[in-house]
Amino acid sequence: MSVAVPNLKPLTEDPERYEEVFYKAFFKVSQTDVLLEKLNQFFDEKVMDLLTGVFGREEVVSLLGVGVGEGHTEFHFLKSLQTHYSSMCNIAVDPNEGMLQTFKTRVDTLNSDGKSSISCHWINGSLSQFLTDSPMAKTKYNLISAIHSLFYAGDFETTFTQLASMLKDKGVTVIVCKKGKYRIDKKINKRCTV
């Protein structure tokens, strides 16, 4: 069903507007790609050193991903950790079952290469459901990630405090929020920053 809007031409009939829309959309997509690439690089250069400096190769490394979507970043984390650890436990929480399934399919490829064993728990639901319903919410994790997902959680400070309480001593939390949305740098310096 289409709705007629006065003075609005289809983009195909307005080349200047088409170009403007295309470049704005392309710019946003390219910014996201650059951010994720920088995040992956930061993980490989800094976070891996922190984790491998504290947790030995023989330890089962546990990861909690909050709002993983299709798991692009978390997949990179697992792949990088796989080079050092022979056993990992990955818990992925996301309310979108289709996206979670995409991530699951990708992680299955890591298990099939024989490098390490990754046990996975796929939680189809919100973070609040996970925190109240899952016994895994009482587990301590080596790494907790929330990439562009905490703004869905509601009360940011309470959510951050809950996640921080689930972190092992000297574990790492990787949180990415849209610039200006939250000022987490002020709130977490007393806890753990990288």
CATH number of the domain within which 159 lies:
3.40.50.150
193 inside domain: no
Q: Flag whether the pTM goes above 0.85.
A: no
Q: How far is CA 152 from CA 57, 67, 108, 155, 179, in A?
A: 35, 9, 28, 9, 15
1 inside domain: no
Q: What is the pLDDT of residue 98?
A: 93
| pLDDT tens track, the chain, 194 positions | 455 556 666 766 777 776 676 656 655 554 556 778 888 899 999 999 999 999 999 999 999 999 999 999 999 999 999 999 989 999 999 999 999 999 999 999 887 766 668 999 999 999 999 999 999 999 999 999 998 887 667 777 888 889 999 999 999 999 887 655 444 444 444 344 44
Q: What is the pLDDT of residue 176?
A: 83
Q: What is the pLDDT of residue 1?
A: 47
124 inside domain: yes
Q: Give CA 147 to chain center in angstroms.
A: 4
Give the number of C-alpha atoms closer than 13 A to the C-alpha of residue 48, restricted to the C-beta side. 17
Q: What is the pLDDT of residue 39?
A: 87
Residues 6+ apart with CB under 8 A from 106: 70, 71, 75
65 inside domain: yes
Q: What is the pLDDT of residue 74?
A: 94
- Largest pairwise CA distance in the chain: 67
Domains held by the chain: number: 1
Cβ(107)–Cβ(138) below 8 Å: no
Cβ(153)–Cβ(159) below 8 Å: yes
Instruction: Supply the DSSP symbol for 190.
Output: T
Q: What is the pLDDT of residue 110?
A: 86
128 inside domain: yes
State the residue range of the domain holding 74.
12-188
Q: Which residues of 120-132 are buried (b: 16+ CB within 10 A; e: fewer)?
A: bebbbebbeebbe
170 inside domain: yes
Question: Rounded to whole angstroms, how far apart are CA atoms 20 and 119?
Answer: 46
118 inside domain: yes
175 inside domain: yes
Angle between helix 97-111 and 72-82 (nearest 10): 20
Q: How far is CA 41 from CA 27, 36, 78, 180, in A?
A: 21, 9, 14, 23
Question: Rounded to whole angstroms, how far apart are CA atoms 107 and 15?
Answer: 42
